[in-house]
Amino acid sequence: MPEHAARLAGGLTLVGNLDAGEIELAEMQAGIALAEHYSAEALRLFGSSQVTAELREATRLLDWLLSGWEERAISLPDIYQRGPRGIRDSATAKKLVAILEDHAWLRRIPEGATVAGQQRRDAWRIRK
C-alpha cells in the first residue's frame, strides 16, 4: 500500500507541476488518503462477494425442497430426517429455514399442517 500511495502522490504532484522534482507533503498526504480509500473499497467489495457456509447450505436445502420433496409444505423433522446430508439436527434445520424464510422461499403456516402424513405444529409452505 505504501507504494500505491507514493505512485498516487507522484501523479498528483505532476498534475500540479509537470516539472516538479519532488513530492510535497500535501500531495503525499492526499496519495495516502486515496490509497486507504481504494484499499477499503477493495475489502468491502471482496467481503460482499463472499457466500457464507450457511447460505450455501440453505441453497442446498432449497434445491432439495424444489427437486426432491413432493409436498407443498415441509416441517423441521422432515428436513433433518429426510433432507440433504449434513442437515441432521434441529438447530441446523431451524437456521436454514430462517434463511429461506428471509429470502421468501418458505412461508410459515401459522395453524400448522399435515406433512408426510403427520400433523406438524411448525410447518412452512414452499414457494415453487
What secondary structure does DSSP assign to 8-68, as a single string?
Answer: HHHHHHHHH-TT--S--HHHHHHHHHHHHHHHHHHHHHHHHTPPPHHHHHHHHHHHHHHHH
Phi, psi of 73, rounded to the nearest 5 degrees: -125, 160
Phi, psi of 72, rounded to the nearest 5 degrees: -85, -10
Its pTM stands at 0.61
Q: Which tens digit of pLDDT belongs to each residue from 39-98? A: 998 888 877 666 688 889 999 999 999 998 999 999 999 999 999 988 989 999 999 999
- R_g over Cα of the chain: 27
Q: Any idea which fold 53-126 has?
A: Arc Repressor Mutant, subunit A (1.10.10)
Cell 399442517 belongs to residue? 113
